[in-house]
Each structure stands twice: as C-alpha cells, then as structure tokens.
C-alpha cells in the first residue's frame, strides 16, 4: 500500500483527536542548509481564533507559517528540529505524508495565484485532486459563498479566474483553499498586494471564517494585526553571532502585545522604533 493510500485509510487524518490548541508548534531549530533560520520558538495556534505573526523583515514569520503544514519540505535543504502537533498528532512524524497534512491545513499565499482556468475549476481543483465523491456543484458553491464571492461570480463561473480583480482573485484562492474543508487556514500576507478596499474585504472575511476555521496569518501591517488577530506572536532577529536567526520574543493576547508588552524589544517594535 502506498503512503498516500495508507494516509487515506488508517493514516494521519484518522489519528487526529480534538485537543486544545489546534496546533502546538515548538521549533527548536529550523535550518536551510547550514543557515539557522529560526530557533527557540513555541507558538500555540488556538482553535477558531486568528493568530497573527508579526515582526521585522527577515525574522522568520513566513518560515514558521510554512512549517505548520510542511510547505518548507519543498525546499531541499530544509531541516527541522522540534514538533508541530496538529490536534495531538505530530505532523513531522516519519509515517505522516505531508500531502495528507495539507488537506487538513490549507494555505493562501501573498500574491493571488488563481490558475488559468475557469472560476469553477479553480475551486474544484483540490476536490478533483483529492478524488472527491460528493456533489461538485454544491461544494464549489459553498466554498464561494464562504469566501464572500458567490454573488459576484455565480453568473460567470465559466470565466477565467484571471479575469477577476486582485481582491476577487484572492477570495477565489481562499475559496479554493477551503473547498476541501481543512481545519486550519494559513495566510501569508494575504493583503499585501491589494488596495485598501480589497484589504478590508479580506479582513472582514477572515473574521467571518474563524467561526468555522482556525486561522494563522503573517502580516507586516500592525494595524491589520490589531484589527483581526485574537493573539499575536512577535518574532525578532538575533544577530549576536553574526547571522540573522529569527526567534519568538513574545506571545499573547493582541491587546496585551500592543498596549502592555512584557518585553522591551516588543515595546520598541510596536512603538515603531524599528521595522
């Protein structure tokens, strides 16, 4: 039996248990080749909340996010020491297929990346890949409704997804990500390429989606983090040994992080003294 087939029978998904938090991430060391990218970072991702990853450029926010569904595995030199427990199961266990992990932990990227195919087929893509047996029409419609896009595209589902505006394309990518019913949605700066109006639309969508999904978001925009995140993890860069290694400085409720940070470095960052 193949690894993927095993995951579909008595594999990863069947071993999951509903525990708190949804994800318990403990990174001891994360390397790309000989480069230590992130160290000493423990971040819980609580269910049905939005967890924001904030910090200066190069501190490893996106690297940490990508470790939560093993996207970093696509980089040949990636090495990971620690664990990422998803509902009690270590996604880095030797018998866990990363493809199975990504069915449960979806991802939306910085740049909207719809495929050059119809709006309908963009949303159906992952369902077809996972050999979905139910009603494709119902699932596509449900995903587009949840992504707040259905009313805008229901009469042009055969149009190419690339014909949509930037904000609509990002919502289409969100619909594609949630069509397969993941438990967790990872979002890597999903508004960085969007105008302010589209940004507020995506932010409102995130607040609505957290009723059904657990969300982790990387953002450079501190105002955005304050608007949408329930909790925040602030990462910084350690340059003490001549490198640029990211590490967790402080984690807590968003209001506390921005109004009463415990660490001096956090205070300086939220005051805008460095970026």
> All domains of the chain, ordered by start, with CATH?
3-270 (3.40.50.300)
Distances (CA, A) of 21 to 43, 84, 148, 184, 244: 10, 11, 27, 12, 30
| pLDDT value, residue 273 | 87
Residues 25, 47: Cα–Cα separation, whole Å: 13
Cα(176)–Cα(182) distance, integer angstroms? 11
pLDDT of residue 7: 36
**126-140, 162-176, 198-212, 215-229: segment of lowest average pLDDT:** 126-140
Tell me the whole-structure pTM to 2 decimals. 0.90
What pLDDT does residue 144 have?
A: 96
- Asked if 47 and 214 count as a contact pair (C-beta separation under 8 A), the reply is yes
Q: What pLDDT is recorded for position 17?
A: 57
């Amino acid at each position: 039996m193949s690894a993927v087939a095993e995951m579909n029978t008595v594999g990863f998904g069947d071993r999951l248990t509903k525990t708190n938090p949804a994800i318990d991430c403990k990174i001891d060391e994360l390397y790309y080749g000989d480069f230590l990218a992130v160290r000493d970072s423990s971040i819980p991702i609580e269910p049905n909340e939005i967890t924001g990853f904030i910090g200066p450029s190069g501190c490893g926010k996106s690297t940490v996010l990508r470790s939560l569904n093993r996207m970093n595995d696509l980089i040949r030199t990636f090495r990971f020491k620690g664990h990422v427990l998803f509902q009690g199961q270590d996604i880095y266990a030797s018998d866990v297929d990363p493809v199975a992990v990504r069915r449960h932990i979806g991802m939306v990227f910085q740049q909207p990346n719809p495929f050059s195919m119809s709006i309908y087929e963009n949303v159906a893509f992952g369902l077809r890949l996972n050999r979905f047996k139910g009603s494709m029409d119902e699932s596509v419609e449900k995903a587009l409704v949840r992504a707040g896009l259905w009313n805008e595209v229901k009469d042009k589902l055969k149009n190419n997804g690339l014909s949509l505006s930037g904000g609509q394309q990002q919502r289409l990518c969100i619909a594609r990500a949630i069509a397969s019913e993941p438990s967790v949605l990872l979002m890597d700066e999903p508004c960085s390429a969007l105008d302010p109006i589209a940004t507020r639309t995506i932010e409102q969508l995130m607040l609505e989606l957290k009723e059904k999904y657990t969300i982790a978001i990387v953002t450079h925009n501190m105002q955005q983090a304050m608007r949408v995140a329930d909790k925040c993890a602030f990462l910084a860069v350690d340059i003490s040994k001549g490198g640029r290694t990211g590490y967790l400085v402080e984690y807590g409720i968003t209001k506390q992080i921005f109004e009463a940070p415990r660490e001096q470095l956090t205070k300086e960052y939220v005051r805008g003294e460095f970026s």
